Each structure stands twice: as structure tokens, then as C-alpha cells.
Structure 1
Amino acid sequence: MSNAEERAGQGTTGSLAHRVPDLGALELLLAVARLGSLGGAARELGITQPAASSRIRSMERQLGVALVDRSPRGSRLTDAGALVTDWARRIVEAAEAFDAGAQALRVRRDSRLRVAASMTIAEYLLPGWLLALRAQRPDTAVSLHAGNSTVVAERLLSDEADLGFVEGLSVPAGLDSAVIAHDRLIVVTAPGHPWARRRGALQASELAATPLILREKGSGTRQVLDAALGGLARPLIELSSTTAVKAAAVSGAGPAVLSELAVGEELAMRRLVRVPVEGAALARDLRAVWPTGHRPTGPARDLLSLTRG
């Protein structure tokens, strides 16, 4: 291979980014062509004239041709510079189209937020967070699907939700998470239940052996309680929402185990009574979750930030 052929081959190897000037340099060249002045082009683009001169020289070295003739009367393109300017115009126009398309994608992403949350978070925490989000993003339409932790994971993994919230002991497979709050499960009964009048704390073994009003399998509350007690008796009643469990307990149907977040009003009004328990760790973390490797962006990122506030 001759030296000329070797030099020609070197000109087409390596990354395209190293052989083609960046957009800023091309925009500068177009401004010089339009204004006939390097200083005017520099002012239009908000850079100093020495910086503009340096950028043009760098582009000339990169391309191996002179692009601009400079004189006291101004700057004019060389023949090669005029040809490169035509190419540069097409590249910049394509970049503008690319930017417009990317902006349209961001607008479409930011126009909606799909949230999936387990019941306690959906009923007692999310309303406040969503009101705060609305103040920040009034044009974002939010949809909320409430279900147990298993359902939340399924919706995230099937791309039916952008951000999820769960209450279980562990993070479902395929999801990343961040702890956003802490919660405690407490035993409650109606005031007329025998446990409401007992003097000492309830033992974990007695709680485990007692039929309770419970959430369905797959709920974070059920998972935490089952793990804390090492197993549960057959449920007295099995219900699919925190509100339903609470209503059943208030009616006197039997004892229930609920989030401390869910029963503040009922305890204050004495519609429910808290029953102390010994020998069971009933604290739990509340988590935001999203598909592994896909950190929340746009409205989902903003909502996640609000939960930590």
C-alpha cells in the first residue's frame, strides 16, 4: 500500500465523532457564512472572538482544509468552506429535527403518570403526594391503580405502570427500590372485644393462633404479619382492602392487624382499641419500586422526590 493510500485509509477509520466537527462548530461556520464576520458570529452565539477563531482553526485541522479567509474587512468562506457549509446546514437541520422529536417524546412522557400502589399507601399517603405533584405539574394526568404488592410488581413488569409503591418485607424480583417511609402494624379490636379489656400485652403465640380479619394473600400487610408470627391461623375473614378490614373490625366482627397509618382516627374516636403485643416485630419499610435498571424520570422522578420530602 502506498503512503497516499495509507493516509486515505486512516481518514476513514475510528469513531465518526472524531472525524466530524461537533454541532457547535458547524453552527459557528453557518453564522460566519450568514454574517460575513467572525466577530459577529461569535456575538450571536454568545462566545468570545478568540474562542470562535480557535474553534474554526480546530475544525480546519480536523478536516484538513481551510474554511475561512480572514482579513481586516471581514471573513469569507473559501471554496472548500462554502461546500462544507452546505453539508453543515443539512446536519444542523437534521439535528433540529432530532431535537424537536426528542422534545415531543418528553412532552408525551410528561403528559401522564401511571402509578400502582399497595392499599395502605394508596389510601393514606399517596393522596397528599399527588396533590403536591399536581402543584408542580398541573398538566400531567395521573392514573392510580391500587392493589396488593404482588399486583403492583406485575403492573410494573408488564409496563402498565411507571412507578409503584409496596409494603412487603422484600423487593419483588425484577424491581429496584428505595425506602420512602416506615410503618408499624398494630392489633386493633372494637371496644367490646375481650382483648380491649385485658390488662397485659397479647403474646405473639396467642395472636398467631387466633383467627383474624386479614388482607388477602399477596398483600404486604399479610406478608409482614405471617413472617413476624411464623404462621397464621385460618383467617376469620379475608378481605381485599385496608378500608374493608377496618370496617369489619369496627363492626365487632373480630380483631384485625392494620397499619398504624390507617387507624389514627378510629383510635382517637374510640371506635377501635389498640391491643399491645409482645414477641413480634411488626415494623416494616414502605418502598417505591420500579423495573430494574430503569430509574424513574419525568413525573415519576418528581413524585419519588416528593415522597422523600
Structure 2
Amino acid sequence: MSTTDDRDRHGHRDASPGPLAHRVPDLGALELLLAVARLGSLGGAARELGITQPAASSRIRSMERQLGVALVDRSPRGSRLTDAGALVTDWARRIVEAAEAFDAGAQALRDRRDSRLRVAASMTIAEYLLPGWLLALRADRPDTAVSLLAGNSAAVAERLLAGEADVGFVEGLTVPAGLDSAVIAHDRLIVVAAPSHAWARRRRPLTAEELAATPLVLREEGSGTRQVLDAALGGLARPLIELSSTTAVKAAAVGGAGPAVLSELAVGEELGMRRLVRIPVQGVALARDLRAVWPTGHRPAGPARDLLSLTRS
């Protein structure tokens, strides 16, 4: 009959079976032992650490069972360390001091992370939503320096994957490869034109086919607006003008260069003042999701996490 124990191939018993975490008391137990040594009282140590005396007694007994030695002698006059307890206390002090240094270093890393926030956002979000979110974030985190990198959805993905941004916001139909996402808002694209344009006097809606066949003032390829419009229409005519920002497209449309397709978020003021006219379109849906994005497996933390919370409030 054979037996299995903790001996190695030379017949010597293994001095360290199993993971270290299973054999070494946790920091809370070691801090309790140090408090008992300093105060000479289990009850006093319990009060200092904010736990009950029965809980403190249970923790000491558990540590004694784990180590296989008695650590504390209890008597009506108080609690004193055994010889083994005094030796373990010396070791515990070094472990706790190392843990304190570890905690201080981790806090320094968090402070450095929290001192700045790098945001990459596609143009519509950068121009019409982010300013309000960043003002609210500043109220909560006045010491965090924020930098904003604005570009199209493809550029946002590139920034995040290159480690040049902590969180991003995009408007496209799909999530770029290598990124995780969460929907934070919904948006709708609308067709607009100057009041002088012939479409402003139409009595019936445009058809999807008419819109697809008409040269428009458009955002550049790679923008979320262009992606949504192209997918919804199954293709577009050659652009009348191709511009790299929502503001530039809007200005061209207001100036009478031609009709444009823009976010509802971007043209509220112009529609209200009749500088632009909304052109109805039938047979095409131009709704889209606005998403926060970040590198896969790296959920935003610190200021980036707080910013995400503000987008949903």
C-alpha cells in the first residue's frame, strides 16, 4: 500500500506545500497581533481596530491554528505574547511595514493616473456633448487636467489603440476592432439645406434614392456620420464638398453650398433661427448610437470612469 505526502523525489518533506497565501496570515490578523503586543490587551487591540473582542479572539485562534503555534497567553490581567508570539510579531512588523510601503506606492500611481485625463472623441460628440460633460467633471475633479483630441471615429480608435487616450467616444455603426464599448446616447441624422435651396420649397419628402443620387456637403470618409449615411443609402453620389468637421459642414450648408446630412445635436440653433431648413426623407432610417470606447479588457478607471458616469446622468 502506498501513501502520498509532501516529500520530494529525494524523500525530504516539502517545506512549502501549496500557495503562500494559504500559509501566511492575512494583514488584518498581523495588524491585530501587533496591536496586542503594543497594548498588552486583546480587548484594547479590538477597540483600536474597530472590531469586537470575540471577533479578535477568533482571529487570533485562527492564526494560531494556521501557524501551528500558540501566540498569545490570555489571563484576567491581560494578554501577553508567548515566545513564539514575540518572534512572529517581529516578522509581522516587517510584513506590515512592507505592505504600508506597497500601499503608498499604489496610491502614488493612482494619484498620477488621476492627475490627467486624455479623451479622444469624434467631431459631433466633441463639439456638442463633451463640453457639458467636462464642465461637470471639473466640478467633481478640479485637480484633473483634461486634454481632448477630436477627430473622426477611425482616428479615435487609432488614438486608443496607440495608448494616446484613456477613453474615447464614437458615432459609427460598428465598434472598431480591439475596443470594448457602451452605448451612452442616441442620435439622429437629418437632411438640411439653406432656405434658398430648392429642396426647402418641396411639398413632398425626398426619397432615399433621390438623396443617394444627389451630391451633398459631407464629412470625410472614416467619420461616423459618413459611415451611417453610406450604410443607410447603400452608397452615395460623389460629394459636392468633403469637409473634416461638423462645424465646417454646417457652415457650408448655411452659406448655400448645398444640402448636408448632420446630427440633430448640431443644428438646433440654425433650425430655430431658420438659417437651415430640415428636409423630410422617406424610406430611410438615419438613427445611430453614440458609444464610449476603450481598449478591450481595460475598463476605464479614475477620471475616465467618472466621465462615463456623467454621460449617463
Q: TM-score, normalised by structure 2?
A: 0.95
Instruction: Map 1:191-210 onto structure 2 (within 5 A).
Output: 191-210=195-214
Aligned to 2:70: 66
Report the CA distance shift for 1:238/1:128 in structure 2 as closer, same or farther (over 3 A): same
Query: What's the CA shift for 1:9?
Result: 3.2
**Aligned AA for 2:264?**
E
Instruction: Map 1:140-159 onto structure 2 (within 5 A).
Output: 140-159=144-163
Distance 1:168 1:4 in 2: 61
Distance 1:2 1:274 in 2: 85
| Between 68-77 and 169-178, the greater mean CA deviation after superposition | 68-77
Distance 1:216 1:5 in 2: 68
Gaps of 5+ in 1: none
Q: Look up the SS of the partner of 2:210 in the other structure.
A: helix
Q: 1:109 aligns with which of 96, 104, 113?
A: 113
Report the CA distance shift for 1:5/1:150 in structure 2 as closer, same or farther (over 3 A): closer
> Contact 2:6 / 2:17 at 8 angstroms: preserved in 1?
no
% same residue: 87
Q: Look up the SS of the partner of 1:186 in the other structure.
A: strand
Distance 2:205 2:236 in 1: 19
Does 2:125 match 1:121?
A: yes
Distance 1:121 1:4 in 2: 64
**Aligned AA for 1:153?**
A
**Aligned AA for 1:112?**
R
| Between 6-15 and 52-61, the greater mean CA deviation after superposition | 6-15
**Structure 1 moving runs of 4+ over 4 Å:** 1-8
Does 2:257 match 1:253?
A: yes
Instruction: Map 1:157-176 onto structure 2 (within 5 A).
Output: 157-176=161-180
Q: Look up the SS of the partner of 2:13 in the other structure.
A: helix
Aligned to 1:45: 49
Gaps of 5+ in 2: none
Q: Look up the SS of the partner of 1:191 in the other structure.
A: coil
Q: 1:305 aligns with which of 284, 302, 309?
A: 309
Query: What's the CA shift for 1:11?
Result: 5.1
Instruction: Map 1:1-309 onto structure 2 (within 5 A).
Output: 9=13, 12-309=16-313
Over the aligned positions, Cα root-mean-square deviation in angstroms equals 1.8
Measured against aligned partners, the alpha-carbon deviations of 1:90-136 in whole angstroms (never above 9, x if no partner) come to 00000000111111111111111110000000000111111111111
| Between 5-14 and 202-211, the greater mean CA deviation after superposition | 5-14
Distance 1:222 1:148 in 2: 10
Query: What's the CA shift for 1:74?
Result: 1.6
Q: Look up the SS of the partner of 2:73 in the other structure.
A: strand
What count of residue pairs does the alignment treat as equivalent?
Answer: 309
**Aligned AA for 2:277?**
V
